[in-house]
Every structure is written in structure tokens, then in C-alpha cells.
Amino acid sequence: MESFSEFNISKQLYNAVTDLGFERPTPIQEQSFSVLMSGADVVGIAQTGTGKTLAYMLPVLQNLPFSKEIHPRVLVLVPTRELVLQVVEEIEKFSKYMTVRTIGVYGGTNINRQKEAVAKGADIIVATPGRLYDLVVSRALQLKSVKKMIIDEVDVMLDLGFRFQLTNILELLPKKRQNIMFSATMTEEVNTFIHDFFITPTTVSVAVSGTPLENISQSAYKVPNFYTKVNLLIHLLQKEQEFLKVLVFVPNKKSADLVFEILDDIFGNEIAVIHSNKTQNYRIRSIENFNAQKTRVLVTTDVMSRGLDLDAITHVINFDVPAFPENYMHRIGRTGRAAQEGTAILFYSEKEMESKERIERLMGQQIEEVPFPAEVEISKKLSAEEQPQIVETNNPNARDEDAGEAFHEKKEKNKKENLGGSYKRIIKQKYKKPKTRGDKNYNKRKRGK
């Protein structure tokens, strides 16, 4: 499709989209528009940065008539506070020439202020699951008028452990509604969630093509363990003129804190970290400082980086190899944007070799191997996950996975079959199962006489 003018949208929506400088719809916007307009349940699979918010909001806004109703008609669920703010801002831009009331609600702030805001009425509520559920339970917000329910970044939500809250919210919504779900990756957990709550949804997939952007150079270092990876990371980050704005991906919150603490001792204010355990103000400040280049390096996890507005990143360093190869593509897609040159570096250990090969199969090309720098110290220290498991052979409570059947014979008295006691057996023998009018054999005999 060449232009948004080919979409069946109102003049107000078209003008708002044009004001934003959007000329041609992205693949996810083009492929999902007519399906969403039909009112069917939709599952969209697309990378971050492909225009997912406009993809689901364009048809939703087109089908949203003016109303003075207090209760919301559209519910958008996102995993983090930052995304609530971001999605609300985008919806306000899209509905610039429309009368649409949009409110964002999220944890970490005064709930009474949010109760006051929703009491005034809203057409669209953008929320994190936890705070939305609190507002509904306290009866400050009613969901009885919701016609369209959108879950954005559902893979991140499930990673953050929001399945329980999502389940509770879905049970409170009206049965007759349109379900729309967007995810960057399709995992087993996401697939199970879809089957549990969606009715024969239409899947629109423009997931990773498998071919990285031409302007991203990729390389990989084979590194034996966690602390050697830290040493290599420090070595690379010391090249300040080259590594100007760096995003470091780590596997989890614990690793993020550990890597940050080590780097903070060396680089000080040049380092920031964000993950879901950090306070809202800390996370927003870290992102703002990184975008303003007050800090040079941002350490983050996959779930926190998704959907955040981070530009002009010179390097993406993968401290680990992600379990799903698509996540590697999301990570490296953070650099090399807007026709700029970008660099992606991967650290992998022997145990991560198979995951690296899966990424290469997805891309259809090898990641260039770079010799490990001779000046970087190879650490003998192991992380908690890398340390060998100690099996306590003399501990009676320790389970031996290789143990077989019990080594002793049962005593003779324990070999007897429990037949239910002599009284029961005698009565059963004396009074057999009674014949009834429904007994086929009994009826046959009766007819034969």
C-alpha cells in the first residue's frame, strides 16, 4: 500500500497521521488494518519499532464514536509504567483532531489521583495490569462498557509474571468484546495464553525476517565464563571515543545489578541500569540521562528494553545469548537506525554455542568470530549459576536421581491384596448385582422365554 489515503479512515485521523510525517504504512499496519476493522480477535506478531501502536489504534479510533459515557470503551494493557506514558502520548497525537479522552494509570504513584481522573470519565484507559486491577477492585473503575481489549507486549507481561493479573482482568471484562494482542515473539507461554483466552484469532505476523539490517556490523567473542565477560566488557568500554552510546543486554535483573555494580566502580556516572525492580523515578531518570548522553552506557534486560524510545545507539553488546533467537534480532535492531551505522557484539560461552547457532540459522549467515584480546584477563571466578552442584551423598534427605527401585523385598504380609474385608466379600458373593429392566442380557432372556 502506497499511502494512508488508501485506508478507509476519517479526515481527522488522516490529518493527524500526516502531521506526524507518516507517509506509507508499515507492513504490520497494512496487514492488520482490515482484520481489526472487521472486529475479529487478532494476534499480531511484530518487532518493536514497526509501528505497532498505530497498527492497533488506527482501526480502534476509526470505530470509536463520540460519547459522553464515563466508563471506558477501550482498554490497553502494557507491561511497564514507561510504556503507559509512551502509548498515551502516541494516542493523543493520533487523536489530535478528535474528541477522545485518554487516561494512563500505573503503579508507583498516588492511586487517589488516578481514582479522581477516571471518575471524570475516559474513552480509552492505558494501564499496567496491577494498578488497573487495584482500581477495579476498589470500584473506582468499571469495565462493563469495554468493547475492545488490547494487550501490547504480551510476551514481556508474561515474563514479568503478570499472567495472574491478566487472567483476573479478562474474567471481569464483558464476554462480548474484541480481543487484540501484540507480541514481539511467539513463545510457548504466549501460545498457551492465546488458546486459553482468545476465540479462533486471526494471526498477523511480520516477525523478524531473519536478515539483519545492512548497516549493522556483527561480531562475536567466545568467552569462558561470567566474570571474564565482565573483564571483556570493561576492556571494550574503555575505548570512549568509539563506544559513545552503548546498550548492554544481560539475561536477568540479578545479572544487571551485578554488572552495574562492577562497572560503576570503574566508570562512575557514565553507567546507568534499568530493570523492573527499580523505582519509576529512577528508571525514567536513567532513560532521560542516557538519551541526553549524560550517561554513556545503559545496562538492561530484554523485558525492560522493549518499546522504550532509545535513539542514536552506537553499540549493542549482548552479554549473553538470548534463549529465543528472535530476541537477538530485537536487541541488535536498537542500533543502526535511521540509516546510521551500528555495531552489535555478542559474548557467548561454550554452553551458549547452540543458542548462537540458532540465531545464525535464523539470519542465514554466520556472525564473525573475533579473537579474544590477549590483554584481557581470563577469570577463574565463577558465578553462582556456573558453580558445580554439590551432591551430598551421605545426606538421607538428598535425592539420588539415578536411584532405581527399592532394594528390599516386601514382607509376606504386605504382599497380600486388600480385598475389602471378609464381610464385604461374603455379602457381595451372596447378593450379586441385581437385574434391572435396563439390563440387556436380562431383557434378551426374558424375550427368549
Nearest by Cα to 39 from 204, 179, 143: 179
- Three-class SS of residue 203? strand
Question: What pLDDT does 6 receive?
Answer: 87
Which position has the grid cell 561480531?
219
Burial class (CB in 10 A: 0-12, 13-18, 19+), 406: exposed
Cell of 276: 523492573
Banded pLDDT at 240 (limits 50, 70, 90): very high
Tell which wins on pLDDT, 142 or 210: 142
Question: What pLDDT does 269 receive?
Answer: 92
* pLDDT at residue 74 tops 80: yes
Phi, psi of 345 (to 5 degrees): -120, 135
DSSP states along 305-359:
HTT-----B-EEEESS--SSHHHHHHHHTTBS-TT--EEEEEEE-GGGHHHHHHH
Question: What pLDDT does 153 receive?
Answer: 85
Question: What pLDDT does 206 receive?
Answer: 76
How far is the CA of 250 from the CAs of 12, 111, 231, 235, in angstroms?
43, 33, 15, 17
CB 194 within 8 A of CB 201: yes
Banded pLDDT at 51 (limits 50, 70, 90): confident
* pLDDT at residue 425 tops 60: no
Ordered structural domains, the chain, with CATH: 4-206 (3.40.50.300), 216-369 (3.40.50.300)
Q: Determine the Cα–Cα distance for residues 111 and 136; give it in Å rounded to an integer.
A: 12
Tell which wins on pLDDT, 183 or 78: 78
pLDDT in tens, 242-262: 999 999 999 888 999 999 999
CB 270 within 8 A of CB 293: no
Which position has the grid cell 551432591?
391
Q: Determine the residue type at 294.
A: K
* pLDDT at residue 407 tops 50: no
* pLDDT at residue 186 tops 90: no
The answer to whether the predicted template modeling score (pTM) of the entire model surpasses 0.85 is no
Question: What pLDDT does 278 receive?
Answer: 80
Question: What pLDDT does 393 receive?
Answer: 61
How far is the CA of 225 from the CAs of 154, 222, 230, 271, 381, in angstroms?
32, 9, 9, 22, 8
Nearest by Cα to 115 from 132, 98, 99, 101: 132
Q: Determine the Cα–Cα distance for residues 68 and 122; give it in Å rounded to an integer.
A: 9
CB 147 within 8 A of CB 73: yes
Question: What pLDDT does 405 receive?
Answer: 47
Mean pLDDT of 105-120: 94
Q: Determine the Cα–Cα distance for residues 10 and 5; give it in Å rounded to an integer.
A: 10
Question: What pLDDT does 312 receive?
Answer: 84
Task: State the Cα angle at 333 between 331 and 334, rounded to 5°.
Answer: 75
Banded pLDDT at 195 (limits 50, 70, 90): confident
CB 232 within 8 A of CB 347: yes
* pLDDT at residue 315 tops 90: yes
Nearest by Cα to 101 from 77, 129, 68, 127: 68
Mean pLDDT of 312-336: 87
Mean pLDDT of 299-322: 82
* pLDDT at residue 432 tops 80: no
CB 297 within 8 A of CB 238: no
Banded pLDDT at 225 (limits 50, 70, 90): very high
Question: What pLDDT does 307 receive?
Answer: 56
Q: Determine the residue type at 332.
A: I
Question: What pLDDT does 282 receive?
Answer: 85
CB 321 within 8 A of CB 348: yes
Question: What pLDDT does 308 receive?
Answer: 65
Phi, psi of 179 (to 5 degrees): -100, 130
Mean pLDDT of 115-134: 95
Task: State the Cα angle at 185 between 181 and 285, rounded to 5°.
Answer: 85
Cell of 111: 492511586
Banded pLDDT at 360 (limits 50, 70, 90): very high
CB 260 within 8 A of CB 271: yes
Among the listed ranges 169-178, 201-210, 287-296, 388-397, which one has the minimum average pLDDT value?
A: 388-397
